[in-house]
């Protein structure tokens, strides 16, 4: 009996001594948010979360892939929507602000439960027994249930639109819309600027607390830029850098693209890589998603709530 009590007690404890009960109660505290208000004249009954997903499928403009990660991750799809929040990540802070604003449907481009599988239960290695319940994953799921939230992921099909909404969001946030090459937000030609000045501008405009990292010579002057938010493989880096001076991306495998660019720089090539971090690079695109959703879901208020840069840098 004692072992059972101790096991239950351990399951209540999350990181830094935060219990599951305390985790769930986070929904009642935190930064205030302005309540959602529909525009005057809107009287139609609010849709369910499932209806919202159906409308997105019908209007997204690309063929729906049944093997997608764009699915409900938590909550009841049959629940009526009181308000919609778009974000790059459904963090506790974002969900808390959504609750205080009266919204219950959160549409996120990134995973809620810290992995591609995006479930509240950890999966063990293939052939191994199931992993034991993790207190943080379990508590976050309980938080969503207790506060009657619904979380739906929207990444694959939003990114598949033309032009790329994530690249378009970054370009618009940086004030570079007029520099688009042939209307493509993934290719920008700006007036000549040093890599250091370019990186500083990007950091300031995107309100990056510490996530921006740069490979390249600070005083080298550049003009041609590729904007590729999210995660990019080395194959994309190889293909894109042949035609541009700078690649601005979300995240990479550090031992691939960053080392490739570093060797290019050591070889005397005027190339650079600027990394924003995945969530920060996708945030402006989810702002654009909120604008788009307002056109197809007029019965419920829609708002973008940014998750923000998760990183910070120590002062030196």
* Containing structural domain, residue 153: 2-160+282-304
What's the DSSP call for residue 130? Answer: P
Same domain, yes or no, for 186 and 241? yes
Q: How far apart are CA 37 and CA 34, in angstroms?
A: 9
Whether 313 is in a domain gets the answer no
Same domain, yes or no, for 103 and 141? yes
Report the pLDDT value the prediction gives residue 268, as an integer from 0 to 100.
Answer: 95
Q: How far apart are CA 244 and CA 224, in angstroms?
A: 5
Whether 311 is in a domain gets the answer no
* Per-residue tens of pLDDT for the chain, all 316 residues: 334 433 333 334 444 455 666 665 655 554 455 666 655 455 578 999 999 999 999 999 999 999 999 999 999 999 999 999 999 999 999 999 999 999 999 999 999 999 888 888 765 556 666 667 788 889 999 999 999 999 999 999 999 999 999 999 999 999 999 999 888 999 999 999 999 999 999 999 999 988 799 999 999 999 999 999 999 999 999 999 999 999 999 999 989 999 999 999 999 999 999 999 999 999 999 999 999 999 999 999 999 999 999 998 887 7
CATH number at residue 85: 3.40.1390.30
Same domain, yes or no, for 140 and 222? no
Could you give the 3-state DSSP secondary structure of residue 226? Answer: strand
Same domain, yes or no, for 191 and 141? no
- Quote the tokens at residue 304: 């973008």
Report the pLDDT value the prediction gives residue 279, as an integer from 0 to 100.
Answer: 94
With a CB cutoff of 8 Å and minimum separation 6, the contacts of 17 are none
Same domain, yes or no, for 288 and 257? no
Write out the H or E segment, with its range, that includes residue 198: helix 195-205
Same domain, yes or no, for 12 and 140? yes
Whether 314 is in a domain gets the answer no
Same domain, yes or no, for 234 and 290? no
- Quote the tokens at residue 113: 């439960």
Report the pLDDT value the prediction gives residue 315, as an integer from 0 to 100.
Answer: 79
Report the pLDDT value the prediction gives residue 181, as an integer from 0 to 100.
Answer: 86
Whether 16 is in a domain gets the answer yes
Whether 113 is in a domain gets the answer yes
Same domain, yes or no, for 298 and 204? no
Whether 35 is in a domain gets the answer yes
Q: What are the φ/ψ torsions at residue 97 (nearest 5 degrees)?
A: -65, -35
Domain count, the chain: 2
Answer whether 149's CB lies under 8 Å from 95's CB.
yes
Same domain, yes or no, for 14 and 65? yes
Whether 309 is in a domain gets the answer no
Same domain, yes or no, for 136 and 201? no
Report the pLDDT value the prediction gives residue 33, as an integer from 0 to 100.
Answer: 58
Q: How far apart are CA 303 and CA 105, in angstroms?
A: 11
Same domain, yes or no, for 52 and 120? yes
Whether 180 is in a domain gets the answer yes
Q: What does pTM read for this prediction?
A: 0.87
Residue showing tokens 């997608």:
68
Same domain, yes or no, for 180 and 203? yes
């Amino acid at each position: 009996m004692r072992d059972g009590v101790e096991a239950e007690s351990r399951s209540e404890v999350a990181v830094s001594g935060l219990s599951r009960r305390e985790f769930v109660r986070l929904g009642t505290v935190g930064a205030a948010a302005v309540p959602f208000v529909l525009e005057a004249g809107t009287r139609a009954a609010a849709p369910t979360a499932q209806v919202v997903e159906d409308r997105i499928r019908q209007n997204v403009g690309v063929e729906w892939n049944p093997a997608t990660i764009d699915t409900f991750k938590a909550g009841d799809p049959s629940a009526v929507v009181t308000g919609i929040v778009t974000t790059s990540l459904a963090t506790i802070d974002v969900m808390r602000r959504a609750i205080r604003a009266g919204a219950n449907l959160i549409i996120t481009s990134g995973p809620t439960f810290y992995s591609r599988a995006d479930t509240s239960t950890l999966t063990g290695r293939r052939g191994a027994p199931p992993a034991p319940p993790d207190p943080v994953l379990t508590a976050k799921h309980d938080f969503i249930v207790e506060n009657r939230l619904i979380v739906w992921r929207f990444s694959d099909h939003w990114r598949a639109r033309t032009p790329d909404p994530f690249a378009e969001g970054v370009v618009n946030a940086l004030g570079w819309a007029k520099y688009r090459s042939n209307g493509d937000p993934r290719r920008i030609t700006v007036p000549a600027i040093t890599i250091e000045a370019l990186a500083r501008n990007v950091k300031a405009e995107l309100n990056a607390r510490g996530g921006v990292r740069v490979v390249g010579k600070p005083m080298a002057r550049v003009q041609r830029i590729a904007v590729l938010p999210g995660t990019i493989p080395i194959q994309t880096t190889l293909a894109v850098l042949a035609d541009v001076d700078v690649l601005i991306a979300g995240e990479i495998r550090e031992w691939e693209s960053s080392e490739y660019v570093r060797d290019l720089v050591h070889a005397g090539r005027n190339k650079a890589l600027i990394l924003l971090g995945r969530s920060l690079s996708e945030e402006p695109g989810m702002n654009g998603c909120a604008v788009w959703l307002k056109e197809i879901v007029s019965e419920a208020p829609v708002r973008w709530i940014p998750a923000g840069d998760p990183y910070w840098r120590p002062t030196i």
